[in-house]
Amino acid sequence: MLVDWILAFTPILVILFLMIRFQWGAAKAGPAGWLVAVVVAAGRFGAGVELLALAQVKALLLTVDVLLIIWAAFLLYRVADEAGAIAIIGEALPQLTADRGMQALLIGWAFASFLQGVGGFGVPVAITAPLLVGLGFSPLVAVLIPSIGHAWAVTFGSLASSFQALIAATGLPGETLAPMSATLLGLAGFGCGFMVAHAADGWGALRRLALPVLLLGTVMGVVQYGLATNGLWNIGGFGGGMVGLAVGILITPWYRGERSQGSESGLKRRSVMLAFSGYLALIAITLVIQLIPPVRAFLGQFAIRVSFPEMRTSLGFLTPAGYGRVIPLFRHAGAILGYASLIAYLIYKRAGMYRVGAAQRIVSGTIRRVMSSSLGIAAMVAMAVVMSHSGMTDTLARGLADAVGSFFPLASPWIGALGAFMTGSNTNSNVIFAMLQKRTAELLGYGLPLILGAQTTGGAIGSVVAPTKIIVGASTAGMAGREGTVLRSLLVYIAILIAGVTLLVFAFTKVGMG
Amino acid sequence: MSEHKDSPGRDKFRWQTIALSLILLPTLPLYFMVNAGHPWATWILMALIAGGMILGMWVS
């Protein structure tokens, strides 16, 4: 029924409208969406107060699951940034080559992807755009390059918080979702590399830099795939970016350009290694916890596990009884990041890289930075859970399935991209749209990993044109007030990338992969 | 001077912290109240959560 479909869509519509028309942030628009969802669920879809209350408890588990990672990921980033580690790496890279295209690939693709892996939150563009301006790129190109370059690494970046949101929102295991998501994102990575080369040095760079693009794209995509499909998705983007950066540095002698006087001294090399050591600690801890069964089993004993009764609306929509999101407290990706943050802090402190009061600045800076996004995520997750438990998501999915039918795979990446563009993040897009995509795919008989992979890949790519990210990027490259120019230029690249992903998804459905 | 400049940001942060606490913390007793069949307590806790949402919308 059309009225039901429109009402079910209202919470999403309200969020999108408030964010676009009034430029509200997620922390302001999210609660509005929740309020509308609760009113519609109770008033039209027959959700009683008990159902709404239990949905809220389920939402709390999902929220904690996602927030633990976001908080701890930013803590690790602050630990390294306060020590000057990010600045050291950023200063060392431009000295390796004078070839503009190679500089763009190294800094705007590999390094930006690495930064997305460890930080996210707009950090890749904010850090690399000024570096590129300093190397002589125009401010516009300096924003375009890292914006395009890190797009493929968004889902498994930020220690995979967006992927965790996909798992949480759909209830499907990460092992099921990872292969197709990593495949689509890895293939999109090649597109990112070629577009970075084009943005940096025109059409000629595409042919001249084809080899490094193919090499780095393969290395980063394969490493991300390998990590993500072996239960290590929280370091998927980070690992891919780090190995890509290492390989990029190794191949720069073949693309050195005209100068490179003053290659890095032994001392500089040592400080770069030290700067990376905090992140090496993360790799070591992750591998120990994930790959040594007794350690994994021991830490897995302490878990938050809440069982829920069957829930039914007065209209008869049923959610079966079962456990909510299980959170293994000491083995959770957020906990692993916490251990890594502590070890990285001790390493940098022992090396004398902190000024007085660093610990306090790290903690307060982290809490201040994550509060707003935490509020937005808490509200949007709650909204999504209310919608799915009251039958609103089901109504939306049925309407969508009827409307687009067999063309649904063509729409999936664009829905993900639209969600990320509107809400400013791949994580938010997954929270809002993943359940809808899942239900529609079930109704139409498409493979869930493919459709949800398309959702998150579209979301990852679409997130880089979100107004909030563009504002951050433009301001750091000296283009404040000219965000419209950045958006116009970036949209062309991003639209081509998403169109490429759409064709891939469609092709996969035709060869029986979804 | 910088303290004056920071103060609106600090206030916003403080109110957002309160809003997030109002959204998340009442959820813990909510589970037990629903299972124990206390509708009045369920309503009160849901009202607190809604209050947190409205506060979050207001201050962000």
Complex ipTM, two decimals?
0.90
Query: Of A49, A309, A371, which is closest to B16 when you measure between CB atoms?
Result: A371
pLDDT score of A283: 78
- Distance (Å, whole) CA A183 – CA A260: 37
Residue A323 pLDDT greater than 50, yes or no: yes
To test the contact with chain B by mutation, choose from A363, A371, A389 the residue with the greatest count of B C-beta atoms within 10 A, namely: A371
Which burial class, exposed, middle or buried, applies to A467 when counting CB atoms under 10 A from its CB (0-12, 13-18, 19+)?
A: middle
A200-227: average pLDDT: 94
Check A53 against B19: CB less than 8 A apart: no
| Mutation site for B-interface testing, chosen from A63, A375, A423 by largest number of B Cβ within 10 Å | A375
CA distance A85 to A103: 20
- The Cβ-side half-sphere exposure at A107, using a 13 Å CA radius, reads 36
pTM: 0.77
CA distance B35 to chain A (A): 9
Interface contact A375-B23, CB threshold 8 A: yes
Of A24, A54, A374, the CB nearest to B20: A374
More confident residue, A73 or A328: A328
From the candidates B12, B30, B31, which should be mutated to test the interface with A, based on the most A CB atoms within 10 A?
B31
Distance CA A61, CA A63 (A): 5
Q: pLDDT per residue over A155-179, tens digit each? A: 998 878 899 999 988 989 999 999 9
Q: What is the least distance, in Å, from the CA of A169 to any CA of chain B? A: 18
Which pLDDT value is given to residue A234?
A: 86
Residue A39: per-residue pLDDT:
97
**Of A31, A59, A60, which is closest to B56 when you measure between CB atoms?**
A31
Q: Do A379 and B56 touch (CB under 8 A)?
A: yes
Of A32, A54, A372, the CB nearest to B57: A32
Percent of chain A with pLDDT over 70: 96
Average pLDDT of A441-465? Answer: 94
Query: Stretch A322-329: mean pLDDT, rounded?
Result: 84
Please determine, for residue A483, whether its predicted confidence score (pLDDT) is greater than 80: no
Of A29, A57, A309, the CB nearest to B27: A57
Residue A475 has pLDDT above 80, yes or no: no
More confident residue, A19 or B21: B21
CA nearest A54 in B: which residue?
A: B31
User: Residue range A341-345: average pLDDT?
Assistant: 93
The alpha carbon dihedral of A210, A214, A215, A221 has a sign of positive
φ, ψ dihedrals at A312, nearest 5°: -140, 135
- B5 pLDDT more than 50: no
pLDDT computed for residue A285 by the predictor: 85
Across residues A410-427, what is the average pLDDT? Answer: 85
How open is the CA angle A232-A235-A239, to the nearest 5 degrees? 115
Which chain A residue is nearest to residue B19, measuring alpha carbons?
A: A375
pLDDT band at A394 (very low <50, low <70, confident <90, very high): confident
- Most confidently modeled range among A2-16, A277-291, A422-436: A2-16
Q: What pLDDT does residue B10 have?
A: 78
Residue A514, pLDDT above cutoff 80: no
In the predicted structure, residue A257 carries a pLDDT above the cut 70: no
Q: At what angle do helices B2-24 and A358-390 cross, to 10 degrees?
A: 40
Least confident window among A118-127, A144-153, B15-24: A118-127
Q: Is the pLDDT of residue B3 over 60?
A: no
Give whole-number Cα distances, B54 to A13, A56, B58, in Å. 18, 16, 6
Which pLDDT band, with edges at 50, 70 and 90, does A467 fall under? low
Q: How many Cβ pairs closer than 8 A exist between chain A and B?
A: 76
CA distances from A384 to A10, A197, A282 (A): 12, 39, 32
What is the 3-class SS of chain B, one letter each residue? CHHHHHHHHHHHHHHHHHHHHHHHCCHHHHHHHHHHCCHHHHHHHHHHHHHHHHHHHHHC
Dihedral, CA of residue A475, residue A478, residue A481 and residue A484, to nearest 10: -90
Question: Using 50, 70 and 90 to split pLDDT, how confident is the model at A258?
Answer: low
What pLDDT, in 10s, does the model give residues A14-37? 987 887 778 787 788 889 999 999
Chain A residues contacting B via beta carbons under 8 Å: 24-25, 27-32, 34-35, 38, 49-50, 52-54, 56-57, 59-60, 63, 306, 309, 368, 371-372, 374-376, 378-379, 382
Residue A409 phi/psi, 5-degree rounding, is: -60, -25
Considering chain A, what percentage of its residues have pLDDT values greater than 90? 47
Confidence of residue B1 (pLDDT cuts 50, 70, 90): very low
C-beta of residue A132 within 8 angstroms of C-beta of residue A105: no
Residue B15 has pLDDT above 90, yes or no: yes
